[in-house]
Amino acid sequence: MRRTLTTLGLRGQPVLVACSGGADSLALAAAAAFVVPREGGTLGALVVDHGLQADSADIARAAAEQCRGLGVTDVEVLQVTVTDRGDGPESAARDARLAVLTDAAERGAAAAVLLGHTRDDQAEQVLLGLARGSGARSLAGIPPARLARPGSPVLLVRPFLSVPRSTTEATCRDLGLSPWADPHNDDEAFMRVRARRVLPVLERELGPGIVAALARSADLLRDDADALDEAARTAYLRLGEPPWPVSGLTDLSGAVRRRVWRELALRSGAPSGALTAEHLRTVDQLVTHWRGQGPVDLPGGLRVHRRGELISLANSA
């Protein structure tokens, strides 16, 4: 916790901790309650009631009371309505939670919201990326810190990405805290739960250290992905707005060019969750394997087409 505050320039700043009442977030709240005031900052806690279970209000109240028992006096319970827009209930709950946490942080002029993801969560994220055949950005896992949303002054910070889940559970036992066990964590309808159950098998069959190795791979791939993203942003600015000459694209490496396509699609309104590697590969073939093929449709009603030596983007509606 101290290292995170120092590295991100958060010492002496107002920060908030998001607490679900689970072992990870309770241990996070305990660490923050001990460290943040000693570093000259102020701490509040936010508990989100998703309303997805009959007793969700009681669970939220219990989490808030445990935060107060740790010495956090400013505790707020936030209620959200979760609406699944097609990406699944887990994604919908996450989006609703992050939105309400960001709103509360901006309203209270907090510098950051602390989230309780652990090294095990990071390993699960990398394993899911491998299972989906994702690229380097997905395999880079959960970022330790990022802006809550574009233009926001609030950081979402995960101080425990190097901490194993067993440590947060032991911390709660040592401090006499009573973590809530989310039944969704045992529901195999969620792919993340199935990945969580695979990790012990990998540890047993391939030897100890798999979780740490996957998390370490995420750190290394994040550096690579950041460098490629920066190269793609530079290339995008050099190209300007479409139409683009094919000659200006063939000079780019494939890894950079695919990121340029992604940047173009996102800036033009394609939903990020619907944009796949196959979409980007097909668009890239307009440069690498041009045989006079027709336009490529992208999510968000977008269409990329090549006419002669120019590649353009249009709305397909």
Is 182 annotated to bind a ligand? Reply is no
pLDDT tens-digit series, residues 144-182? 999 999 899 999 999 999 999 999 999 999 999 999 987
pLDDT in tens, 33-77: 999 999 999 999 999 998 777 788 999 999 999 999 999 999 999
Instruction: Report the relative pairing of strands 302-307 and 296-298 from DSSP bridges.
Output: antiparallel
DSSP the chain: -HHHHHHTT-TTSEEEEE--SSHHHHHHHHHHHHHHHHTT-EEEEEEEE---STTHHHHHHHHHHHHHHTT--EEEEEE------SS-HHHHHHHHHHHHHHHHHHHTT-SEEE----HHHHHHHHHHHHHHT--HHHHT-S-SEEESSTT-SPEEE-TTTTS-HHHHHHHHHHHT------GGGG-TTSHHHHHHHHHHHHHHHH-TTHHHHHHHHHHHHHHHHHHHHHHHHHHHHHH-SSSEEHHHHHTS-HHHHHHHHHHHHHHTT--GGG--HHHHHHHHHHHHS-SS---EEETTTEEEEEETTEEEEEE--
pLDDT band at 122 (very low <50, low <70, confident <90, very high): very high
Strand order in the sheet with 310-315: 244-245, 310-315, 302-307, 296-298
CA 94 to chain centre: 9
Contact 280, 304 (CB under 8 A): no
- What is the residue type of 18? A
Residue 134 pLDDT level (bands cut at 50, 70, 90): low
pLDDT at 164: 95
- Is 9 a known ligand-binding residue? no
At CB < 8 A and 24+ separation, what contacts does 182-185 make?
182/20, 182/22, 183/53, 184/90
| 12 in a known ligand binding site | no
What's the token pair of residue 4? Answer: 């995170």
Q: For position 87, what pLDDT does the model report?
A: 61
Report the percent of the chain where pLDDT is more than 90.
70
Q: Round to whole Å and give the CA distance between 317 and 309.
A: 24
Q: How far apart are CA 287 and CA 145, in angstroms?
A: 35
Q: How far apart are CA 188 and CA 201, in angstroms?
A: 16
Alpha-carbon distance 42 to 25, whole Å? Answer: 18
Over the stretch 199-227, which tens digit does the pLDDT of each residue have? 989 989 988 899 999 999 999 999 899 99
In the chain the domains, ranked by start, together with CATH numbers, are 2-206 (3.40.50.620), 240-315 (3.30.465.60)
Q: What is the mean pLDDT of residues 284-309?
A: 94
Range 274-283 average pLDDT: 88
Report yes or no: 50 and 82 within 8 Å, Cβ to Cβ: yes
Q: Is 20 annotated as ligand-binding?
A: yes
Q: CB neighbours of 217 closer than 8 A, spacing ≥ 6?
A: 126, 139
Q: What is the pTM of this model?
A: 0.82
Position 232 pLDDT exceeds 70: yes
**Cβ atoms within 10 A of the Cβ of 268, count?**
17
